[in-house]
């Protein structure tokens, strides 16, 4: 099984189910998007910084709910703030904390720190569902997706 193509996390540093996650993302000079995103001022696009916050939030939800939902979707990103650039060679430490949760959504507060400086922050609302909820024939796909995510999480925790 291969890794996620657009994985925005290098490693999960800490996971406290139901509470918070801390993860790391380093920017490497050979990343594809750097060729086109401000070629003379190479920086990680803000949307990828936000994606890192979302992915960390998803791992927290999966760890909290024991992978009960195969689909996690970004329903809303509120109060998104970009305060600093991420350049090759720099590392962002991402934290996400659960503010509230119900059967269908989770609200989280997430931030990406570059040292002592907040590089980006947001309040995220993440939807939880399963493929089988819309089509009973997709139960096997739910199982495959859950198992794939379990394997991916093991990689992130052992990196």
Q: What is the per-residue pLDDT across 11-29, written as a single tens digit (0 to 9) for each?
A: 999 999 999 999 999 999 9
Task: Return all residues near 49 (Cβ < 8 A) that are at least 6 apart.
Answer: 82, 86, 92, 112, 119, 120
Q: Is the pLDDT of residue 3 over 60?
A: no
Is pTM, for the whole model, over 0.85? yes
Tell me which of 11, 37, 109, 146 is the catalytic residue: 37
Burial class (CB in 10 A: 0-12, 13-18, 19+), 9: buried
Residue 1's pLDDT band (cuts 50, 70, 90): very low
C-alpha to C-alpha distance for 152 and 3, rounded to whole angstroms: 7
Q: Does domain 11-149 have CATH number 2.40.40.20?
A: no
C-alpha to C-alpha distance for 157 and 96, rounded to whole angstroms: 16
Edge-to-edge order in the sheet of strand 71-82: 11-16, 20-26, 91-101, 105-114, 117-129, 71-82
Q: 23: closest CA among 149, 85, 120, 112?
A: 112
Query: How many alpha carbons lie under 13 Å from residue 136 in its C-beta half-sphere?
Result: 0
- Residues written for the chain: 159
Catalytic residue status for 28:
no
pLDDT tens figures, 37-51: 888 899 999 999 999
**Annotated domain spans of the chain:** 11-149
The fraction of the chain above a pLDDT of 70, given in percent, is: 97
Q: 110: closest CA among 28, 9, 26, 34?
A: 9
């Amino acid at each position: 099984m291969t890794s996620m193509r657009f994985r925005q996390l290098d490693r999960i540093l800490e996971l406290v189910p139901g509470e918070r996650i801390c993860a790391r993302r380093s920017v490497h000079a050979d990343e594809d998007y750097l060729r086109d995103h401000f070629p003379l001022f190479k920086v990680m696009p803000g949307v990828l910084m936000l994606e890192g916050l979302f992915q960390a939030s998803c791992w927290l939800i999966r760890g909290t709910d024991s992978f009960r939902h195969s689909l996690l979707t970004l329903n809303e990103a509120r109060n998104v703030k970009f305060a600093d650039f991420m350049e090759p060679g720099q590392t962002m430490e991402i934290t996400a904390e659960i503010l509230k949760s119900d059967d269908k959504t989770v609200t989280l507060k997430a931030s990406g720190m570059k040292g002592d400086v907040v590089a980006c922050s947001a309040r995220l609302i993440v939807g939880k569902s399963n493929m089988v909820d819309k089509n009973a024939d997709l139960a096997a796909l739910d199982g495959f997706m859950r198992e794939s995510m379990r394997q991916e999480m093991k990689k992130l925790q052992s990196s």
